[in-house]
Structure 1
Amino acid sequence: MKHLISVIIPIYKVEKYLKQCIDSILNQTYKHIEIILVDDGSPDKCGKICDEYANKDNRIRVIHKSNGGLSDARNCGIKIARGDYIIFVDSDDYINEEMCEKLLFYAITYKVDIVSCNFSYVYNNQLKENNMSINEKIFFDSGRNILKKYFFDYSVDLNVVWNKIYKKELFFISEKIFFPKGKYYEDNFTVYKLYNKAKKVILLNEVLYYYVKREDAITSKFTLKHLNDSLEYIKDYYIYSNNKDNDIKNIMQIAALKQYLNLYKIRNLNNKMFNLLKLERTFILEKSKGLIENPYRNFKIIKNYILLKYNIWEYYIKIRNK
């Protein structure tokens, strides 16, 4: 296999974890890779560490840029990537030494656009299995059917961007796909579009990625910005489906309504948040017209839509949460 893989690593304030991450990529059994280290204006020694590694291995390319956030850093990597395939690795995580080789093997052998592997959480250096995975060792399907699993089958974790290999052309054919700058939940704006473009996808039930739960990580409260960005990616579903076929419009209509209703279920929403949700109610109801004819609707979604339409949903949720 002579295909070049571009491994893109966005970097910000991860001095403690960065070397383990880079080492795990340098030690890959598949050697024909380029490693793009995007120093996103990190105020610690990350930039220096990147340059030290670049001096040791000519497969490493370093970008030093002003801080623009995770999405902006990933986008910078995508734009300069020379590879036929792209893998994203977060800079506080690390990967199995065979990840590149195995994901590329399945991509080439079965001529698929995306291969997704399983992952483990790492707590204090202890591995914990990810329960949201397929039962089969290998699961094949079309990108459109994987998109349906992504939105309608919550037993499978398909949302994250970093446990996959992508054919690079997916980001550029027909329309360019980049991560939204300055938004929370950047994967929610992006991954579904890649699935929709993919002709064929493989889900591989083998742990090849290690997601590190950092000791110094601060658990973010759900803020007004979190809520606003959540509403933004819901609107993005409608925007994306505007010029698409009826099937994708039907999928996105159900997905958007379900996501909107789920926002009400978040604990500890304050009055400002409820008011923001209510401001979007008319928009969501307008976009949900024809729901009864949508082949992906079910009794539950129709029931919840009726509760929303007649101003009962908010009170129903408040009572249920008591």
Structure 2
Amino acid sequence: MKISEKPLVSIGMPLYNGNRYIKQSIQAILHQSHANLELIISDDSSEDNSFQILQEFTIKDTRIKLFQHKHLGSIQNFNFVLEKASGEYFIWAAQDDIHHQDFVESLLSLMLQDATVSLVMSDYRNLHTNKTYKIYEPPLFKIAACNESLEYYLKTHNLSLFYGMFRTKILKHIGGYHVDFRPYFKSSDFLTIYKTLLAGKLGFVHRVLFYKRDTGFYTNEYSNLKQKPMSILTTHIVRYALFPVHYIFDFMYGTMYLLCSGLRLDQKIQAQVWLLICTARLFGRYIIKSLQGTFIVLKRILKL
């Protein structure tokens, strides 16, 4: 089959000051075994030389569509690259993550097996200081029914699904990257995935094909902050303390979207229970993390 006869996959990359890893990330995408893709990159007024690096890539590969904005904002940038997508399938790519060369082909192959699948992801690892870490347990299924998909997602809170392959039509129909009026962040990876799984099944490729760059927020948490300036430490404490508010908004909107979904009544009740348990678990986890951080600050102040 000719390259042009294969399904077009759109990959959207919002960018801001990404010169440290951007070359490696783009090269991994351009060397995918599935070659019929478009890479939509939107630079939001980077203050480093990211845009110059991108311009060099566009000269060499016409599959890259490059845009530049002046302070569009992170959330709007994510939805901008989706808006520009012309492929039947869509993937969000972060400026510092790494994709195995079979990532697109493997996810697309599974997506094509079942027209009711709305999202496909592979197994993945967090990448930190040149070491890989396993954060979430993968599901046992290859393709799950809608309720099984929701059960796995709500029991694991596996946000890496956000960087999987979506059906573009479904993703645009649900409004793209979820945005609402919450007092901070203003958006939700969680609800973007949740709404997608209310619209279809989850597929999972049982190979490690994706590496999510982690600056230490997940793999080390406070251990890598103990020697940081007090301002950075307190910022993380406040962030952890505010996360429960974030999850309350996710619960409120999640409940609303569930009630409006096409699931049966018994499936809605079951999913609502999972959503409630998920929210309570996350709420408690980040309260504990904020208390741990406060204890570190007190020890530093008292020089214990």
**TM-score of the aligned structures, taking structure 2 as reference length:** 0.76
The root-mean-square deviation of aligned C-alpha atoms, in Å, is 2.7
Q: Report deviation, 1:5.
A: 0.3
Partners in 1 of 2:119 and 2:43 — Cα distance? 26
| Corresponding residue of 2:175 | 176
Deviations 1:89-143 (A, max 9, x none): 11111100111111112212344332210012222223334451135xx622123
**TM-score of the aligned structures, taking structure 1 as reference length:** 0.72
Q: Is residue 152 of structure 2 the alignment partner of residue 149 of structure 1?
A: yes
| Corresponding residue of 1:213 | 214
Partners in 2 of 1:35 and 1:238 — Cα distance? 35
Partners in 1 of 2:15 and 2:278 — Cα distance? 30
Instruction: Letter of the 2:144 partner, please give it.
Output: D
- 1:117, 1:208 within 8 Å by CA — same for their partners in 2? yes
Percent sequence identity over matched residues?
Answer: 21
The alpha-carbon distance between structure 1 residues 41 and 212, as it changes in their structure 2 partners (threshold 3 A), is same
Instruction: Letter of the 2:260 partner, please give it.
Output: N
Deviations 1:39-80 (A, max 9, x none): 123222222222222222110011212334433221111111
- 2:258, 2:268 within 8 Å by CA — same for their partners in 1? yes
Equivalent in 173, 192, 195 of residue 194 of structure 2: 192
Report which stretch shifted further, 109-118 or 7-16. 109-118
Q: Is residue 252 of structure 2 the alignment partner of residue 253 of structure 1?
A: no
- 2:147, 2:271 within 8 Å by CA — same for their partners in 1? no
Partner-residue secondary structure (3-state), 2:139: coil
- 1:17, 1:92 within 8 Å by CA — same for their partners in 2? yes
| Corresponding residue of 1:139 | 142
- 1:119, 1:210 within 8 Å by CA — same for their partners in 2? yes
After TM superposition, the structure 1 = structure 2 runs for residues 19-58 of structure 1, keeping only pairs within 5 Å, are 19-58=23-62
After TM superposition, the structure 1 = structure 2 runs for residues 1-322 of structure 1, keeping only pairs within 5 Å, are 2-111=6-115, 112-135=117-140, 139-152=142-155, 154=156, 158-173=158-173, 175-180=174-179, 183=185, 186-198=188-200, 200-214=201-215, 220-223=236-239, 225-244=242-261, 245=263, 246-247=265-266, 249-262=268-281, 263-265=283-285, 266-267=287-288, 269=290
- 2:44, 2:73 within 8 Å by CA — same for their partners in 1? yes
Segments of 5+ residues of structure 1 without an aligned counterpart are 271-322
Q: Report deviation, 1:206.
A: 0.4
Instruction: Letter of the 2:22 partner, please give it.
Output: L
The alpha-carbon distance between structure 1 residues 41 and 123, as it changes in their structure 2 partners (threshold 3 A), is same
Partner-residue secondary structure (3-state), 1:28: coil
The alpha-carbon distance between structure 1 residues 269 and 133, as it changes in their structure 2 partners (threshold 3 A), is same
Partners in 1 of 2:138 and 2:69 — Cα distance? 36
Partners in 2 of 1:185 and 1:228 — Cα distance? 13
Partners in 2 of 1:261 and 1:150 — Cα distance? 15
Instruction: Letter of the 2:153 partner, please give it.
Output: Y
| Corresponding residue of 1:314 | none
Report which stretch shifted further, 227-236 or 182-191. 182-191
Segments of 5+ residues of structure 2 without an aligned counterpart are 218-223, 225-231, 292-304
Work out the number of aligned pairs and report it: 263
Instruction: Letter of the 2:189 partner, please give it.
Output: D
| Corresponding residue of 2:298 | none
- 1:42, 1:67 within 8 Å by CA — same for their partners in 2? no
